[in-house]
Structures are given as C-alpha cells and as structure tokens.
Amino acid sequence: MQATQIGRSLAVWSRSRLCCRVVCCVPRVEAVSALRAPHCRKRSSKAGLSPSVRGLSAVTASASASAAEGGAAGGMAGSHADLMKAFQACVPALSGANYKGQHGKVGILGGCREYTGAPFFAAMSASRVGADLMFVFCTESASIVIKTFSPDLIVMPLLPERPVFDDPPPEAEVSKMVDRSSALILPWMRKLSCLVVGPGMGDDPFVAAASRLVIKECRRANIPLVVDGSGINLIVAEPQLVKGYTNCVVTPNIAELGRIAGAVGVSLKGSIGSSWQQHAQEIAAALGGPVLISKGPADIITDGKAVLSCKVPATPKRCGGQGDVLAGIIATFVSWATRPGASRDLLVASYAACALLRTSSHTAFGKADRAMIASDVIAELQPTFLRVLSG
C-alpha cells in the first residue's frame, strides 16, 4: 500500500517536473510512539486565568472596530485593549531563575532548495518576540544557506528531498528515506514548545511524506502546531491531519481558505475575495478543533465557536514573508499560552500575534514605504512588543 501510493506521487512528479500536490503515505515510525511533550500534558483550563480570559471561550461576537490603536474587536465583552491585556497575563516574566528554553523552544519544519527565506523569517520572528531557542528542520540543499543567515538558529538538514536532474529512486528506497528522515526528526519534537509546519516546505513529495508523519506524531504527543504556507497543502489533501485537534492554529490566506473550504465540504459563493472570510467560522467548525486565522484586510480568528476580528492598521504593501513572520510570532505566543498554569487560550494568543504583526508592518511601511521588505517588519517586532504588550 505504502509503495503504491509513493509510486503514484513519483509518477506524477516525473511527468511534470513541476508542482506535485500528491501526499505520500508512509507507515508510522514506532521509535517515538510514546512521545509526549512534558509541558503539554493535559491540565485544568482554569488554572491561572483572569476572569476576562476565562470568559472568552464561551462568547461569540461579530467584529466591530474601535478608534484606539489596533482598531479591532472580538469575541468578548471588550475591545482590542481588553484582548491585549488578556494576553499580557500569558507573557512570562524575566527572572534570574529562568533556564534556557523556558520561554519557548520553537521548531520550523520547512526549507527546501527553492525556499530558504521563509523558515528563516519564521524562526527569527519567534526569537524577536521572545522565544529562547529556534530549530529549523529542512532539506540538505537548504541547510547551509539558512545557517549563513544567522548563527542564532539551530539548523538540521533532516528532511528528504527529490533529485533535481536524476530520476527518482525506486519506491522502496523512497520509503526508507522518508522513514529514516522521520525517525531522526521526531525525537527533537519532545524538546519543542511549538512546531510550525510549512514555511518554505515547497511541493516536494518526499518532504510532504515526512511532514505528514511528523504532524501525526506531534498530535499524538499533544505538541502545539502552527500550520502555514505549504503545510496547508497537507491539510487540503488530508483534513484529518488536524481535524479535532485543539492544540493547533491554521493560518490560510484567502486563496488557501477557499481550498480548505473545498476539502471540508464548505461551499463558497462568488469569486475569490474577502467576502469568503464570512465563512471562516463555518470552515473552522468543520475542522472541529483548530483555531483558524483567515488572513485578509481584517484577520478573522475563530475556533468555530468564538470569532475575533483584528482590524489593526497594517501595511498596504504585501511583500513576501509577512505570513512567515506571523507564523513565528504565533508559535512563541502559543508556547506561552500553553505553559503550565497559563490560559491555554489560543484565540487570544492568535489575536495578539495578528495585532503585533499588523502594527509592526504599519510602522515598517511608514519608514520604508514601497521599499519595505519582511526584514523591515521583523526589525519592528521588538519595539512594538514593548509598546503594546509590556504592560
């Protein structure tokens, strides 16, 4: 069964040498079947919650704008300021008693021959908002490039990749490559507070096969996931990967939102546009667990029950990499929200991440105008964080 499905993927790739969306099925690696992140064991959702955070999960509200910085509102009886204050309770205090990694160990699963910037942007953004350690799991062809971007990243070339000029290896050999890759990656997962799947992943069927297995094992271990970029292709192909998983945030743009809708049986009328975001809650409900962030003119954040809308002023320029920056911010904020005694409220964490990115990009555009790039936005994360989230 495994060899047949991998063979079909390779056959499609061999014919086109272009975008392969087929996801290979491989057997589960048993080496880490008992994997469980110690910081993610189930605990009371009421521990350490403020009344405003505790009440959010039971409320669904439509979006309304405010004139305050952020001009946003959401699913609680309050404003943008209330939501940001609620998340401040999740921000860990800095003290001499902290150990390395206590404020976040974020992993990025992605990075291939074509795309090396995306995992770098995601990892550095996680760092710039407060994560302690950043791991990048990428293909061998991407690893040296990403290492040269920054010595602050731990870069491991553990993802398999298809050959460029040669014919793909036999199906049995591909299966062994995927199994070997996954077996090397999975033990690292227990070290992480959150894993981002997708930045720079591309369309390599070898990478897709290994990534699917990693997602399944992280879910079994209750490790928080952020699925972005090419990782969304995996969900479109197999929604069951994240269906029902509440420790997960999915971040589609409007086009990707439409593809997820089709995969879960939600009908979207009309041509692609922001009107599709009206169905975000329905799509999230169909997924039955993950928080869905529908990125657009306003960011719609919903778990299928509560709905928040972030209308913080943002940049009018859509340069590449902004989605990767958001994914990294979310990973750090989710790491904090899922610490022992924290709120475990991924809606509030996601809202705060969207607000921080939008404010940072707005500031960066004010300085660079049309020349703004993702690195300019990352440079604004720390001062913006201090301004809006440090009390």
- Residue 299 annotated as binding? yes
Contact call for residues 332 and 130 (beta carbons, < 8 A): yes
- Residue 254 annotated as binding? yes
- Residue 223 annotated as binding? no
Which alpha helices (H) appear in the chain, and where do they start and end? 2-16, 51-56, 80-88, 117-128, 140-149, 171-189, 205-220, 231-237, 254-264, 280-287, 322-337, 346-368, 374-389
- Residue 55 annotated as binding? no
Centre a 10 Å sphere on the Cβ of residue 99 and count the other Cβ atoms it contains. Answer: 7
- Name the burial class of residue 15, with classes exposed (0-12), middle (13-18) and buried (19+) by CB atoms within 10 angstroms of its CB: exposed
Centre a 10 Å sphere on the Cβ of residue 163 and count the other Cβ atoms it contains. Answer: 9
- Residue 296 annotated as binding? yes
- Residue 297 annotated as binding? yes
- Residue 314 annotated as binding? yes
- Residue 119 annotated as binding? no
- Residue 21 annotated as binding? no
- Residue 260 annotated as binding? no
- Residue 322 annotated as binding? yes
- Residue 324 annotated as binding? yes
- Residue 102 annotated as binding? no
Angle at 250 between CA 224 and CA 20, to 5 degrees: 110
- Residue 259 annotated as binding? yes
- Residue 237 annotated as binding? no
CA gap 160, 141 in Å, rounded: 10
- Residue 323 annotated as binding? yes
Q: DSSP letter string over 161-183?
A: ---SSSPPPPHHHHHHHHHHHHH
- Residue 184 annotated as binding? no
Q: What is the dihedral of CA 183, 185, 190, 196, to 10 degrees?
A: -140
- Residue 75 annotated as binding? no
Coil, helix or strand at residue 196? strand
Both tokens of 154, joined, read: 């731990």
Q: Which amino acid, residue 150?
A: S
Binding site for (6S)-NADPHX, by residue number, is: 200, 253-259, 324
Binding site for ATP, by residue number, is: 295-299, 314-323
Binding site, by residue number, is: 200, 253-259, 295-299, 314-324
